[in-house]
Amino acid sequence: MPNQSKPAKPGKRATKKNRSNNMKTPNSQKLIVVLTVVAGITFSARAHTNEPGPLVSVYATDPNNPQISYDEDPYLRAPEIPENPTVVYPDSQANALAGITDPYTAGQPTVTTGDPDTYSLSSPSVYYTPPTPAPGPYLSSGVPLKFDFGPGPVASGYTQVRKTTAYGPATGYGWGDPSKADERDRGSAYGNSLERDFCLVNGTQFYVDIPNGHYQVSVIVGDGIGKSGTAIRVNGLLELYNIGAAAGSYAYDSFAITVTGGRMMFEFLAAINHINAITITPIPSAEWNKPRVFLASDSTVASYYPGNYIMGWGQPLHEYFATNVVIDNQAKAGRSSKSFIEEGALDTIVNNIKPGDYLFVMFAINDSADDLPGQPKTNRKTNPTSTFKAYLRLYVNGARAHGATPVFVTGQIKCTYNAEGQFYNSVQGYPQAMRELGAELNVPVLELNKRSIDHLTAITPPVAVTWYGTKPDNSFDYIHPSNPIGGHGFAQLVAKLVGETKGLEALAQQVLPNPRPQPGFVARSAY
């Protein structure tokens, strides 16, 4: 069903004049559209800079301090930012709390279709700078730290965070401005103590004072009766560009971060943010310094919850490498080389990648998808001989700028074969474009496209079809790897290709001949 969003109302127009003086924002909250011209192709990509960016049309509750957040429904591609924005001040909103009324139980916008999943978070939002907390010395809280958000029962070992939990030096954690937080408890029928309740956030940061060091941060979001989705920035860096779940389900995600100033400042960048739980766990230096393999791709690589009928090959890939290597699967369903960048996903990787790391890039299926008028999610198509190569260069440049190694992975095929049982390339000219650009830029190329054709042909169609998923309605999914056969099968092909590809000799030493199960593996949401 189509997404619904609140229509804009006429209002005051923000001009460019004196913008740098009247609308200053902290560096962590600035956004700019960088126009990049490669091979005569002009396109946009968002990046953090120290210069103020243009505003978009927004709903504001404080006419004196409109600070813009990049806020697009994580299920959709971000629209272009207009040069001449309009800032709107709705008459009906007397204070910030009006902006976080629960859309599923009361207030506006009302879900008129009866399906909470159709509610859209696509309207841009305004957020505010809270009062500056007292400077250090900060409380050196014991770690790991575990926060359970919401008014319901508190999970064992967790610290409860309510809507009224204000930051203070004595506690070392809390909201910068509690008036812009709210909370809900859906009851025991909607999950465990971490899932059933949450805080709703719109316009305030969450602070945690913590000793300097390396940390793994895990986040749970979800709502028993409504869709949830957010992006999270910590200390000015976009760490989770998209974590969300459908109504009645919950998403678990994590990221690694280095703290140098004794504090974490969390910013939640959707219009209505559901925050169920956050845990912060120290990472020993030896673990932090391990090489990481970041995966940038689509649903054929993404991780899913264990019960799902599909499994992207990135989900079990860690099992085919020694523990000296960390696999960081950033793949997301439905993305192309273009939309992955435009949503800020490449920024997320670049903010964390370091010398000695690797960036595996595989796109093809969604780059070939036709655009549909009026449906932003479909604005992702690229041309294999021009724009596709232009976007790939951004991945290469981003990795190399931080001393990491970019790696191209030619797109795996769909389940397509002829009457003789011969499988064939079904993702058009994108694999060949990767080969050509890899040779030009001296980027290692893992030939998953050719290897999947050869391997599936060799095992014959009756066996090969088990590598692809069967949907809950028993229809055949000829695109996505099955759980677990296809996910593990393609992962093993990728691992073997690492061991055979020139330029990856150091990483090849970490490839295992047999899979290494990892108990307690938590899947990244593929939403």
Q: Tell me: the pLDDT tens digits for 244-283?
A: 888 888 888 888 888 878 889 999 987 778 999 999 998 8
Query: How many angstroms separate the CA atoms of 192 and 153, rounded?
Result: 9
More confident residue, 495 or 261: 495
Contact 427, 414 (CB under 8 A): yes
Kindly tell me if the per-residue pLDDT of 522 is higher than 80. no
Q: Which fold has domain 145-282?
A: Jelly Rolls (2.60.120)
Residue 496 is predicted with a pLDDT of 97
Same topology for domains 145-282 and 290-508, yes or no?
no
Give me the chain's average pLDDT, please.
74
Q: Which two tokens stand for residue 11?
A: 């209002």
The stretch 479-497 carries a mean pLDDT of 96
Contacts of 280 (CB under 8 A, 6+ apart): 143, 144, 145, 146, 208, 210, 215, 216, 217, 264
3-state SS, residue 286: helix
Please tell me the CATH superfamily of domain 290-508, with its number: SGNH hydrolase (3.40.50.1110)
End-to-end CA distance of the chain: 17
More confident residue, 227 or 438: 438
The stretch 82-101 carries a mean pLDDT of 31
Kindly tell me if the per-residue pLDDT of 126 is higher than 50. no
Kindly tell me if the per-residue pLDDT of 363 is higher than 70. yes
Label residue 188 by pLDDT band (50, 70, 90).
Answer: very high
The stretch 289-303 carries a mean pLDDT of 93
DSSP string, 430-459: HHHHHHHHHHHHT--EE-HHHHHHHHHHHH
The stretch 176-183 carries a mean pLDDT of 93
Residue 296 is predicted with a pLDDT of 96
More confident residue, 71 or 412: 412
CA 240 to chain centre: 5
Query: How many angstroms separate the CA atoms of 221 and 196, rounded?
Result: 10
Query: How many angstroms separate the CA atoms of 101 and 96, rounded?
Result: 10
The stretch 218-245 carries a mean pLDDT of 85
DSSP 89: -
Residue 357 is predicted with a pLDDT of 97
Write out pLDDT tens, residues 161-177: 999 999 988 888 999 99
- As a dihedral over the C-alpha atoms of residue 46, residue 50, residue 55, residue 58, rounded to 10 degrees, the angle is 90
Contact 332, 345 (CB under 8 A): yes
Residue 377 is predicted with a pLDDT of 54
The stretch 145-162 carries a mean pLDDT of 96
Write out pLDDT tens, residues 338-358: 988 988 889 889 988 999 999
More confident residue, 39 or 496: 496
User: What are the extents of the domains in the chain?
Assistant: 145-282, 290-508
Residue 27 is predicted with a pLDDT of 38
The stretch 380-389 carries a mean pLDDT of 91
Residue 96 is predicted with a pLDDT of 30
Residue 391 is predicted with a pLDDT of 95
The stretch 61-74 carries a mean pLDDT of 31
Residue 219 is predicted with a pLDDT of 94
Residue 97 is predicted with a pLDDT of 30
Measured CA to CA in angstroms, residue 252 lies from 5, 281, 524 at distances of 26, 15, 6
Kindly tell me if the per-residue pLDDT of 408 is higher than 50. yes
Kindly tell me if the per-residue pLDDT of 202 is higher than 50. yes
Residue 54 is predicted with a pLDDT of 31
Residue 230 is predicted with a pLDDT of 86
Contact 282, 144 (CB under 8 A): yes
Question: At 46, which amino acid appears?
Answer: R
Q: Which two tokens stand for residue 172?
A: 């070392």
